[in-house]
Amino acid sequence: TIFSPVYLGGPNHVCPHCGALFWNEERVRGCGSRDSPIYNKCCRGGTIVLTPYKPPPEPLIGLLTWQDSKLSKRFFEGIRSYNSMFAMTSMGVNVIKSINDGRGPYVFKISGQLCHRIGPLMPSNGTRPEYCQLYIFDTENEVKNRMAVASHENAAFKPDESIVASLLSMFDSHNPIVQLFHTARDRLSNESDDQYSVKIFSSPKQHGSVYSAPVASEVVGLVINDLGMSDEGRDLIIQDHASNLQRIKETHCKFMECSTRYYFPMEKMDSMKNYSTINIPYQRQGKGKIVGDFNTPLRGKKLTQAYFVDAYCCVEESRLSHYRKKTFQAKYRTASYKSLLQAADRGVTEAAAAGQRVYLPGSFTAGPRWYYQNYQDCVALCRRFGCPDLFITFTCNASWPEIREALSTTPAQHPSDRADIVDRVFQMKLNLLMDDITKYSFFGPILGVVYTIEFQKRGLPHVHIIVWLKNDGPLTAEQIDTYISAQLPDPSIDPIGYDAVSKFMIHGPCGAIGPSSPCMVDGKCSKFYPKEFSSTITMSSDGRVIYARPKNGITFEKNGVHVDNRFIVPHNVDLCVKYDAHINVESVNAMEWR
């Protein structure tokens, strides 16, 4: 009954306050109208005002816009290594590289707490200069020094000397922090008896003991013989010699600029001093494409992923710091009897030690209490309505035309380069699917529905949906057969359905004809494919559904193998056609409590 996929068009709707581009389906539901929609995922109705990104100077703008395709290709292949060459800070986190061992697009994944650290101006005796030290130490051989550092960190990476030299010249000419480091270099070489430090203020201001060269910015300065900290310790002071690395606060206005060099080659970052504006890096990337804004961070491919993760962790750290406050923890710090028993089981005998935990409220997304509350909500539905009827898995299709159209405005971009676009389109299609289930009763009247969104190891989102249907009892085999199919449609009768099912709903092939399939464990398919042929749908004695998989001669060639109905994943043909995606629909006959 559905003959073409739903198409949402391109992001052609403009926020009247900040110029961010949106799809019409991203409008705030229940507010405004289709002709005058309201959006709140960018500037929050004009309450957040951010400085637009300026187009970067040459040669960076040429590399980002692919003016020389061969040179840009070499640059983007090692963009994270090129960024590390010029970064002033190191990223203190465990980057999980093993996730990229297999096939598929690049994924940036970290584990543990993320922080940015910076060392002294000069390296210790016998150590290799790195990060900010490269702007001061042996600058006559600066290009070779930077290339050597990059090769040391990644032996497989072979930097292009012409790219390194041109980028170095760009930073020297346009970046105020780099220019101040050069001023520090000149002073250190001429007046070695003095003690020097570079001070990067937490907010624009002037300081009485700061020597400011004409090229210096209003937020950086060179301090002579004055190593005192500023009020509240928010300013970043980089001493000439020190034994320990220094952590940069996430609220510092240069937090992102010191680590992601290509995104801020010459402009000042927005101040993040106040808690109300701590979300600025995350808000900037959330706005996506803006009319008249070059928006450098969205053009960085692999570096864009690292930037998104960095900005997200920055926002999360700010939220967590709010929950760490004593005034907030006073509501939760009274230890329950159960928690004290658990502490005793761990060998904690001191009451003070047992009470040092920081408790997160249920309002903190993805916290233990948040998960527990959502779990209890689902359990309550099961108590009220009994066993669910349908279990639906909807997976994002990276080839959706909406994604391709949004990416086409930036040269050489792929879905893996723009997780924000992929997620936004998936969320819109998920909203439409939920409307089909709840408002338009695609499966009939319902009692309840819940869903949870997850992400594959390769970054694509998918959602698991549980549906309680309004019926007199468990679904019969005939009812299930009207909702769910596990066979290829006849191409002579339903060519559109045949194309959709053969494109999205074929498992493997695995087993004897596909022994190298990822689902194979100990020589067997972990999903129990291929299934047995079955002429009609039946139900076993324990209530398990055996879908109809007739041996009717209809096949499809995949990976050089002709597969039949034994390899078809249960689905609803109309949903597969409408959403142009993998949508697995299964009947539920039992629940398992964990």
Written in H, E and C, the secondary structure of 177-213 is HHHHHHHHHHHHHHCCCCCEEEEECCCCCCCCCEECC
pLDDT exceeds cutoff 50 at 585: yes
Name which residue leads in pLDDT, 259 or 475.
475
Q: Decide: 216 and 192 in contact? Cβ < 8 Å.
A: no
- In eight-state DSSP terms, residue 141 is G
Residues 6+ apart with CB under 8 A from 446: 437, 438, 467, 468, 469, 470
Range of weakest confidence among 176-185, 271-280, 580-589: 271-280
Number of helices (H) and strands (E) in the chain: give both, helices first: 17, 19
For residue 77, the model assigns a pLDDT of 92
- Please report, in angstroms and rounded to a whole number, the separation of the first and last CA atoms in the chain: 40
CB atoms within 10 A of CB 234: 15
Q: Decide: 299 and 74 in contact? Cβ < 8 Å.
A: no
pLDDT exceeds cutoff 50 at 213: no
pLDDT category, 452, cuts 50, 70, 90? very high
For residue 231, the model assigns a pLDDT of 41
Q: What is the mean pLDDT of the chain?
A: 81
Rg (CA), the chain: 29
Spatial separation of the C-alpha atoms in residues 505 and 495, rounded to whole Å: 15
pLDDT category, 568, cuts 50, 70, 90? very high
The closest of 51, 108, 75 to 307, measured between CA atoms, is: 108
How many angstroms separate the Cα of 500 from the Cα of each of 175, 300, 405, 497? 52, 34, 21, 5
Q: pLDDT, tens digit, for every residue of 99-120?
A: 888 777 888 888 887 777 777 7
Q: pLDDT, tens digit, for every residue of 356-410?
A: 577 788 888 888 899 999 999 999 999 999 999 999 999 999 999 999 999 998 9
Segment 565-579 shows an average pLDDT of: 97
pLDDT exceeds cutoff 70 at 284: no
Name which residue leads in pLDDT, 444 or 337.
444
Name which residue leads in pLDDT, 192 or 99.
99
Spatial separation of the C-alpha atoms in residues 245 and 116, rounded to whole Å: 10
Range of weakest confidence among 47-56, 447-456, 493-502, 542-551: 47-56
pLDDT category, 350, cuts 50, 70, 90? low
How would DSSP label each residue in 107-119?
---EEEEEEEEE-
